[in-house]
Amino acid sequence: MAYEYILVEKRDRVGLITLNRPEALNALCAGLIDELGQAVALFEADDEIGCLVVTGSERAFAAGADIKEMIGKDFQQVYREDFITDDWEVLAKTRKPVIAAVAGYALGGGCEVAMMCDFIIAAENAKFGQPEITIGTIPGAGGTQRLTRIVGKSKAMDMCLTGRMMDADEAERCGLVSRVVPVDKLMEEAMAAAAKIAGHSLPVTMIAKESVDRSYETTLSEGLRFERRVFHSTFALDDRREGMTAFAEKRKADWKHR
């Protein structure tokens, strides 16, 4: 499929999506969001793919929603369209794991898209922020919600009210990113992590993701109950028996469902 704003590649069992609108620092115009949704849906349906990686350029993961596209919109229109539309949520709804590999700016919608992924690996030059306040609006794709759940109220308020950027070290300290690596190692690290994930049993991986995600939506006791039930469900899989048998026999597991 030919795309205008993204590059899409399959590397073994990893689906790589590169945001590719360099002239606008990967600003997330409607066309880009549409293509991102299509690419994610194709990888989600592709049995050969076990993990996705979303990245941008060395200069920018994405500098936010496209401000020039938004300038002329009025309340009637954004309300009618329910802008930011559900199309934006495609990464958050993906059942296969998704890693965001972030270098450079991840601002506004860019930070929000990164937070929709399961975890973020950041290059040392990464800069995260919710600067919408500086252009007279507020985050509209999860910046006040996901960021607050991830980094807590104080830091989220700081970011959303001042509009300042945080660097990769601060992002790692507050748990927004899982690891920070040199810029020239970002893709190697992200693709290696994705290959490792894609090398596990796919249903077990999806169950693990679903269970961690559940912790964001529910109370601890309900979350623990959910975890136990889906833990039990892994015992219905050949791969659970194979994984434990392989451990006992000191050999590599040969997963049936990848």
Q: How is residue 25 written in tokens?
A: 């620092």
- Please work out the total of residues on this chain that contact ligand CAA, with binding judged by CB under 6 A: 22
Which of residues 35, 112, 118, 189 is near ligand CAA by CB under 6 A?
A: 112
Residue-wise DSSP of 41-59: HHHHH-TT--EEEEE--SS
Closest to ligand CAA by CB, 138 vs 192, is 138
Q: Is 140 in the site for ligand CAA (CB under 6 A)?
A: yes
User: How far apart are the C-alpha atoms of 122 and 120, rounded to whole Å?
Assistant: 6
In three-state secondary structure terms, 187 is: helix
The single residue of 112, 126, 129, 193 carrying the catalytic annotation is 112
Neighbouring C-alpha atoms within 13 Å toward the C-beta of 31: 9
Q: In the annotation, is 163 catalytic?
A: no
User: How far apart are the C-alpha atoms of 186 and 104, rounded to whole Å?
Assistant: 11
Which of residues 15, 50, 56, 131 is near ligand CAA by CB under 6 A?
A: 131
Q: Is 97 in the site for ligand CAA (CB under 6 A)?
A: no
Closest to ligand CAA by CB, 40 vs 198, is 40
As measured in angstroms, the least distance from the Cβ of 215 to ligand CAA is 24
User: How far apart are the C-alpha atoms of 245 and 255, rounded to whole Å?
Assistant: 11
Q: How is residue 84 written in tokens?
A: 């930011």
Contact positions vs ligand CAA (CB under 6 A): 24-25, 27, 63-68, 84, 105, 107-109, 112, 131-132, 135, 139-141, 143
